[in-house]
Chains A and B, each alone.
Chain A
């Protein structure tokens, strides 16, 4: 996949209408995106929030009344709680954050009784990037949720990225585990974790992908540096997905 638009194209041809519960659906960009997705036929938005504000925003679009649902809950906490409840009770398929703070939103998602996280599950963030100078989409994680993931969380991150790549039609995604160097040393704990993860993949304990790490971003994304450094990782020279040990380095690229 080269372009993000291909993701929307793919969603269109799937032929199912995904019900999206939107917590506090009161911002123009969210409503605009949802109306477009609804008019292309792959989404049924459930807009939860202040009824009059939502209707005001909808006036700019020509979506038939049957194409969406409004739930009038002007209180932000209640709106978020309702959106989470709908997903939990299978009345909606996907949860979306509208005009509400991330902390309020995640607090409901992570709520032990009402929330959406199964016990011991790892929550992480995967991002698909369309980079002008890279020949395909690049999935990167975690740029937002896990500040300093441990080994188990890193494994979960790899599995999420692989799952996402599969859904995008990439049968055997190449996963690069990114740190500052390709050398393994006990002085750099991330290189140790990455050596373990790549060996686990070699042994079939992580499936459906090709994994290599530790690698630096040059080795992962630029084949010429493989030759220069003499590192033998041809199968991963062009990764579909990159896992970062901490979320500081990838932030600049996600923000633009």
Chain B
């Protein structure tokens, strides 16, 4: 769009606005924008303000309380200790699998199966795992039948129950995102590397990985943020009073058990800041790597 530097004042306002791209059609964006401003931005700002209006104490009392009480500040470490390993594992699994699957002609069946846990959501996966991973469930029963273990594994109401549920819902998400980035890579680049003498590991190391890294950073961010906000499975499959007392449980309890909305907002803000910090760190690192075109020339 070329924006005229100055227009004579005699031209009607509507025309001057139209020249800057604002006309009747542009206004169609207003309802959606207002809606998000009102129900997303405003609540967030309100929550931020509210977090500085504690029930008792000074402006920063909520935050001081949070960081003084290990039962509260410990939730950050607990959540990170779940979210970071799960996200890393998801990515480590997703990349080699996506590298294989992208050549598959009948990808759709696989991607459809993988989209099921995402669609069912965390509550149902938690419900299903309660049965499946239980001491009498098929999982332990099969391992015993195979002679791999002698007594059922303790996979419920602890760290591992939540871990597995995050893997089950998080892996498909990570995988499908990685796959879509990978399919944007020009296959001729790999072929070129092969004709120049690069074996499959060298092709991955020198060509695929550097070109995929920018996309993987985004994938990591999105997957991490999801895992960090784990809630129903931490309650249903974990030990919500102990090892899987994640930050969202603390926020929920503050709001709906103590009815301290101010404290709940403070915890929600802390949650957002931690997520933002990890994402910002990653995106900063991403700024240092190549993130231009992933095809090899003028198509």
The answer to whether A and B assemble together is no
